[in-house]
Structure 1
Amino acid sequence: MTAISTRRRIWGWFFFDWASQPYHTLLLTFIFGPYIAGVAAETFIADGASEEAAKAQAQTLWSTMLTIAGLIIGLSAPILGALADTTGRRRPWISTFSLMYVVGAASLWFAVPDGSNLIQMLVLFAVGFIGAEFVLIFINAQLPSLGSDQEVGKISGSGFAFGYLGGFLALLILLAFFAEQGNGKTLLGMDPAFGLDANAKEGTRAVGPIVAIWFAVFMVPYFLWVKDDAPKADRINFAKAMSQLSGSIRALRKRVSLASYLGSSMFYRDALGGLYGFGGTYARLVLDWSIVQIGVFGIISIIAAAIFSWLGGKADFKRGPKPVIKFCIWMLIAVCIVVVSMDRTQIFGMALAEGSSIPDLVFYGCGILIGGMGGILQSASRSLMVRHSDPDNPTESFGLFGLSGRATAFLAPASIGAVTAMTESARIGISPLIVLFLLGLFLLRWVKPEGDRAEWDASSQS
């Protein structure tokens, strides 16, 4: 493979991040998530619940959907990875789950503001979310083939930075031309594009089809420039896949560094997912922000994520991924403490004047750190996983990585849902994330910065 074709393959791989980022940015965190949480809260109020109880119920409902989706992803990820490795083909899997992504996202257009089809829309969101996460397993498995162990950190960081730029542009387009403010106008002061009805929230609901179209268009460079290697076999061998997967799981007893890393990332990535999944709903339910305010918050967060992911890739290249991961976790723990200790009336127990802008300014600062540190953490995490992956079966290895990221993916939303229900406070409901981050940090102490490939090679030959 020539230098030019390698560079083009890397850029094709980057375009997946550009194409897929809006599902997490626009749907999960900043637009659809807060919108559907608001719809749910208003529905519960109409059914007779108090405002605080309705907000808590809305957050619990959102957490339940994310819990179920996380369980499906976590249980399926390593099996799918092992099956793909028996043939060496990843593109058919990527195509199939890309279709789930597109269908799930496009269907969110029908999320009407009266809440009459609330549950159906949550199910369809989960379909697209599961598709997006499954695609990511196979995309991540291609990272080891793009460069050396040292180079993949920089490649991973650049990919995340490029993806966040895509998410930023998509969010900017939505806010400027589609999403309605309270006065029915977009951020530019115009009516929603294409004659969309602001009263029916059609501008905001257009986020689903826009994300679907964005993904379909910008995945084209990926499919043009990133090809599968020569296949190992023509057909999937289920028995062989399960045997390999079983062997890999049993081998974790001898691979202390990998087992510790999978456990560590299981907790801290679950906590990060909780921040992403509930950051926008926190702003909507606790700070009473509008969708457009949350969108502006998203723009700031995404810009920070793009810049910090790029810088994090350089830090990974110079120092390795482990110290980068530790720094990011500590910063995100600090963010969680601030978020739990603040609402519209007080911060850390200190009363605020009515209408004070301090909570808004503080949460904007939190958004910069969530976006920036979250971007670096994800990039460095897959870089450290490359140092622990089996070169002959990378999809299975990243399937285990997917399992570690999703096996307890129910913990963050379920614990947030439980604490929210017990306290009837969407703010205090965020507090379990602090514990999850601390658990991840504790387990990281047994992870070797350079990985354990050498030990794995020696044990596999003995």
Structure 2
Amino acid sequence: MTQITQSKRIWGWYFFDWASQPYNTLILTFIFGPYFTATLTGNLIAEGMADEAARAQAQATWGWGLAATGIAIALLAPLLGAIADNSGRKLPWIWLFSAMYFVGSGALWWSAPDDFSVLFTLFFFGIGLIGMEFATIFTNSYLPELDDDPAELGRISGSGWAFGYVGGLVALVIMLLLFQATASGTTMAGLTPLLGMDTVTKEDTRIVGPLTAIWFAVFMIPFFLYTRDRATTGASKLVIGESMRALGKTLRGLPNHPSLMAYLGSSMFYRDGLNGLYTFGGIYAVGVLGWSVTQVGIFGIVAIIAGAVFCWISGRVDRWLGPMPVIVFCVIALAFVSLLIVTITPEAILFIPIAEGSTMPDVTFFIAGAVIGAAGGALQASSRNMMTRQANPDRMTEAFGLYALSGKATSFLAPALIALTSQMTGSQRLGVSPVVGLFIIGLVLLFWVKPKGDFES
């Protein structure tokens, strides 16, 4: 068998980010999420609900669906990581979760407005999201194996995240230029939607599901070609009982590793806040600023370009200074921009009235999106590198399972808080305000995190 070089292994690992990013970019944030809430809003208004209440209820429904999915991920993530560590096999799990990603995203095609089922749509959206999140746990755990020099892992992580952003950008551009119709009935490139997509039944938007599925299937090929599990003397079966005991031992031992415990707590809150921004940013623009799906897509292009550039830069900063300064800077930036977003309306910015018809709210939201893309991407890239410093080197997949748990144990919190606040206030704008507090809590907990962790030799 031909030897797989280190360069090929790294590039194969990069391609997971490239292949999986469109689920976040196209489905979760910029295309399908806004489509879901806009469709549900229209249906609720048709049933007699008031306009503002319908928008808030649609945002809340999306939030509760995400919360339910987050609970499922939180319950299973650390156990699956422990099983992978004990069995020594990760690739079979990645194959399984890749299949869930493919089926879940592809099924979103069957979400036409006239036959719109909230339960069906949220179920398959959840299947795809679970597949993506669990596959990410296992692929992230390969990071320490990609270079023997720990200082290089920040650069590799940042470059991989930047590469993923570029993949999401290319997929989004393809969607906007070839499929998604504007108000004129043609795409941004002036073309009739490819394959004769019917704009009345929103085929031009629903195609985002199959497009994401096919994209993932094609671009996972390099990952599977160049990724191999390390040889292990452990069992090759599931060893569920042993894995549960090992996981229990790890959880009981967390108080003995205060830096790891503080980091898991900190990342639990700030990543939850970030996911809230990603998930509801496009939905907010549609409901509060009245943007079209195409405008949200352009907003996404701006955010992704900023994210790709800043991920690449921050990876170099991470290599130079370590991940901690990058994380702190990004959390502060995201807290401020979240506060800014809550004050943006068509009539005012930062509670300062503006002229009727002014484009300043749109421009300000574009700037906020660029900051979210830049700081959010850098934060996630440096956070997974920080995890390699906090974790026990011999239990890396389990550690990333705990990392996923910390990201998902309260992943229902941001959507649930947004859903609850939206319903209580009847305001979609005020509904997103809880994310500010999540960033602040995450920032405070970072004071107890050692930059090199508890396991430093």
TM-score (norm 1): 0.97
Paired position in structure 1 for 2:427: 425
Task: Report if the CA contact (8 A) 1:184-1:199 is conserved.
Answer: no
Q: Could you tell me which runs of 5 or more consecutive residues in structure 2 were left unpaired when the two chains were aligned.
A: none
Partner amino acid, structure 1, of 2:441: L
1:3 Cα shift? 10
Match of 2:289 among 287, 290, 294: 287
Match of 1:245 among 244, 247, 250: 247
1:196 Cα shift? 1.1
Paired position in structure 2 for 1:215: 216
The one-character-per-residue Cα deviations of 1:298-351 (angstroms, maximum 9, x if unpaired) are: 011111111000111001001110111000001001110110011111112222
1:4 Cα shift? 7.0
1:233 Cα shift? 1.7
1:87 Cα shift? 1.0
The one-character-per-residue Cα deviations of 1:177-206 (angstroms, maximum 9, x if unpaired) are: 001112221111111001111111111110
**Residues of 1 paired with 2:454 and 2:430: CA distance?**
39
Paired position in structure 1 for 2:31: 31
The one-character-per-residue Cα deviations of 1:42-76 (angstroms, maximum 9, x if unpaired) are: 01101111110000000000000000000000111
Paired position in structure 1 for 2:202: 201
Secondary structure, in 3 states, of the residue corresponding to 1:25? helix
1:26 Cα shift? 0.4
Secondary structure, in 3 states, of the residue corresponding to 2:188? coil
Paired position in structure 1 for 2:184: 183
**Residues of 2 paired with 1:451 and 1:247: CA distance?**
19
Paired position in structure 1 for 2:366: 364
**Residues of 1 paired with 2:365 and 2:106: CA distance?**
30
Any residues of structure 2 matched to 1:246-395 within 5 Å, and which? 246-395=248-397
Paired position in structure 1 for 2:237: 235
Task: Report if the CA contact (8 A) 1:37-1:58 is conserved.
Answer: yes
Paired position in structure 1 for 2:155: 154
Paired position in structure 2 for 1:11: 11
**Residues of 2 paired with 1:407 and 1:218: CA distance?**
30
The one-character-per-residue Cα deviations of 1:399-436 (angstroms, maximum 9, x if unpaired) are: 00010000011110000111111111111111100000
Q: CA RMSD in A?
A: 1.3
Q: Is 1:71 equivalent to 2:74 in the alignment?
A: no
Q: Is 1:117 equivalent to 2:117 in the alignment?
A: yes
Task: Report if the CA contact (8 A) 1:56-1:421 is conserved.
Answer: yes
Task: Report if the CA contact (8 A) 1:176-1:187 is conserved.
Answer: yes
**Residues of 2 paired with 1:432 and 1:316: CA distance?**
29
**Residues of 1 paired with 2:114 and 2:36: CA distance?**
10
**Residues of 1 paired with 2:339 and 2:252: CA distance?**
38
- After the TM superposition, which of the residue ranges 145-154 and 364-373 deviates more from structure 2? 145-154
**Residues of 2 paired with 1:14 and 1:51: CA distance?**
44
Partner amino acid, structure 2, of 1:60: A
Paired position in structure 2 for 1:400: 402
Paired position in structure 2 for 1:224: 225
1:116 Cα shift? 2.8
The one-character-per-residue Cα deviations of 1:9-36 (angstroms, maximum 9, x if unpaired) are: 0000000000000000000000000011
Task: Report if the CA contact (8 A) 1:103-1:212 is conserved.
Answer: yes
Partner amino acid, structure 2, of 1:86: N
**Residues of 2 paired with 1:51 and 1:234: CA distance?**
56
The one-character-per-residue Cα deviations of 1:83-136 (angstroms, maximum 9, x if unpaired) are: 111111000000001000000000111110235323211111111011100100
Paired position in structure 2 for 1:95: 95
Task: Report if the CA contact (8 A) 1:387-1:451 is conserved.
Answer: yes
**Residues of 1 paired with 2:340 and 2:453: CA distance?**
34
Paired position in structure 2 for 1:133: 133
**Residues of 2 paired with 1:286 and 1:126: CA distance?**
26
**Residues of 2 paired with 1:81 and 1:186: CA distance?**
43
The one-character-per-residue Cα deviations of 1:331-379 (angstroms, maximum 9, x if unpaired) are: 0011101100111111122222222110100000011011000000000
**Residues of 1 paired with 2:393 and 2:238: CA distance?**
19
Any residues of structure 2 matched to 1:408-423 within 5 Å, and which? 408-423=410-425
Partner amino acid, structure 1, of 2:77: A
Secondary structure, in 3 states, of the residue corresponding to 1:234? coil
Partner amino acid, structure 2, of 1:192: P
Task: Report if the CA contact (8 A) 1:104-1:127 is conserved.
Answer: yes
Partner amino acid, structure 1, of 2:136: L
1:452 Cα shift? 1.5
Secondary structure, in 3 states, of the residue corresponding to 2:183? coil
Task: Report if the CA contact (8 A) 1:40-1:115 is conserved.
Answer: no
Partner amino acid, structure 1, of 2:253: A
Secondary structure, in 3 states, of the residue corresponding to 1:181? coil
TM-score (norm 2): 0.98
Task: Report if the CA contact (8 A) 1:39-1:114 is conserved.
Answer: no
Match of 2:437 among 418, 435, 438: 435
Q: Identity, % of aligned pairs? A: 50
**Residues of 2 paired with 1:396 and 1:181: CA distance?**
46
**Residues of 2 paired with 1:365 and 1:115: CA distance?**
37
**Residues of 2 paired with 1:114 and 1:428: CA distance?**
30
Partner amino acid, structure 1, of 2:288: V
Paired position in structure 2 for 1:449: 451
How many residues are matched? 455
Paired position in structure 1 for 2:174: 173
**Residues of 2 paired with 1:144 and 1:192: CA distance?**
44
Task: Report if the CA contact (8 A) 1:160-1:379 is conserved.
Answer: yes
**Residues of 1 paired with 2:183 and 2:203: CA distance?**
13
Partner amino acid, structure 2, of 1:101: Y
- After the TM superposition, which of the residue ranges 386-395 and 57-66 deviates more from structure 2? 386-395
